[in-house]
Structure 1
């Protein structure tokens, strides 16, 4: 790989971040197909290619947003109904430990601080949480499912495929936000998508053109240095 090519790949990876405000500009269907075509080169165990992707735009997108936002608003008012909307697998741990809980808090309060949301302003927090289910106004929603018969490794395969989608989108001037929040409302989402009963929702991606004027898109999360997470073993 030439230096120029590696620089382009590195730039696409480095410049990708979770965008939480999009402009009302549609994405060409062929562009979406091109992104998915290249993303499908993601590795998968024994080449099972376990992913299925639902691409929603227009009225179907709006239906999902409306139905799930309604459910989320209902939960704000009646938290006891949360049992109706349980994710099918645990994305986050039941018991948090450091340094992960510290990074999570830093991320949350960094975002809320940028949006001038204080710790006691539950209504503002709720409205920002609702933005997830509005796809942050992105015109395209991608919902990734897997057949329930497949193991946890297939979710890892789909995660790699989703990363490819995000990098390929960035290389084409588009932005994304990966989302696990939708998993709580899988019963609503899968029903609207017309998914079969043997499918499980793994995650979603909001995709479109970032709003360059919105302050929320200036929020870039930090990364720890390589020496903090990598162990180099040698014979020397």
Structure 2
């Protein structure tokens, strides 16, 4: 990298703070991308920055599989062929528990709201299973993004390494924003971990954590106007002085 870790920032502190805050606040789950290509060099630059995130005793438990071009299209076709077949879908299993087995408030309320807010923007009515199925299926086309990322972790790692992984994923998304790119982290890929591993020749000892779409957001698509509500600092913070 051209930046020395010991070097001070080359911009005034207020400018640096504004830039970092902007990248964090404007990170959204983009659900419609332009077909504009993303150079491999840009993907490598993003990963080069993200690798500096924290991890317990510097384990760096991540491994990234980047799918572009025909490899991305082939993976999408394979997953969608399964997604559209109820018989095949019934045989899928998750590699780990991402969501709770029993939903409770306020988490269930937030989940429902973001879902119905998205469907409302798209004009999808409650009970319209065909359109819901199609919208969810857009995940497996990477929402039209030219780059897909699949993240795996060694199965022998502990739960703490998933915390490390979260910091790595956030670092990728923030670094992408700094380059004018957008992302969508996607747990939707996890039920298809076996076919993804087969397609990408991922070793058995590696477990799929999630996927991610990367590209340039399509500003003309209404789904990209979705803004999720966030709790205030006072709602989730307790100060002990």
Query: By the TM > 0.5 criterion, same fold?
Result: yes
Number of aligned residue pairs: give it: 230
Q: Which string of whole-angstrom CA distances, capped at 9 and with x for unpartnered residues, describes residues 87-108 of structure 1? A: 1111000101100000001010
> Residue 134 of structure 1: SS of its match in structure 2?
helix
> Residue 151 of structure 2: SS of its match in structure 1?
strand
What CA distance in whole angstroms lies between the structure 2 residues aligned with 1:84 and 1:3? 53
1:196 to 178, 200, 203: 203
Deviation at 1:113?
Answer: 0.5
> Residue 117 of structure 1: SS of its match in structure 2?
coil
- Runs of 4+ that moved beyond 3 A: none
1:31 to 39, 42, 46: 42
Partner of 2:183: 176
* 2:82–2:89 CA contact under 8 A, matched in 1: no
> Residue 65 of structure 2: SS of its match in structure 1?
strand
Structure 2 unaligned segments of length 5 or more: list them.
Answer: 1-8
What CA distance in whole angstroms lies between the structure 1 residues aligned with 2:200 and 2:164? 22
What CA distance in whole angstroms lies between the structure 1 residues aligned with 2:203 and 2:104? 37
What is the TM-score of this pair, normalised by structure 1?
Answer: 0.95
Q: Which string of whole-angstrom CA distances, capped at 9 and with x for unpartnered residues, describes residues 2-61 of structure 1? A: 111011000000011000000111101111111000000111111000100001100110
What CA distance in whole angstroms lies between the structure 2 residues aligned with 1:142 and 1:131? 15
What is the TM-score of this pair, normalised by structure 2?
Answer: 0.93
Deviation at 1:83?
Answer: 4.4
> Residue 105 of structure 1: SS of its match in structure 2?
helix
Q: Which string of whole-angstrom CA distances, capped at 9 and with x for unpartnered residues, describes residues 101-145 of structure 1? A: 000010100000010001111111000010111110100001000
1:42 to 43, 53, 75: 53
Structure 1 unaligned segments of length 5 or more: list them.
Answer: none
Q: Which string of whole-angstrom CA distances, capped at 9 and with x for unpartnered residues, describes residues 200-229 of structure 1? A: 000111000110101110011110101000
What CA distance in whole angstroms lies between the structure 1 residues aligned with 2:167 and 2:199? 25
> Residue 94 of structure 1: SS of its match in structure 2?
coil
What CA distance in whole angstroms lies between the structure 1 residues aligned with 2:181 and 2:84? 30
* 2:83–2:89 CA contact under 8 A, matched in 1: no
Q: Does 1:107 align with 2:121?
A: no
1:213 to 206, 211, 220: 220
Partner of 1:124: 131
Deviation at 1:82?
Answer: 3.8
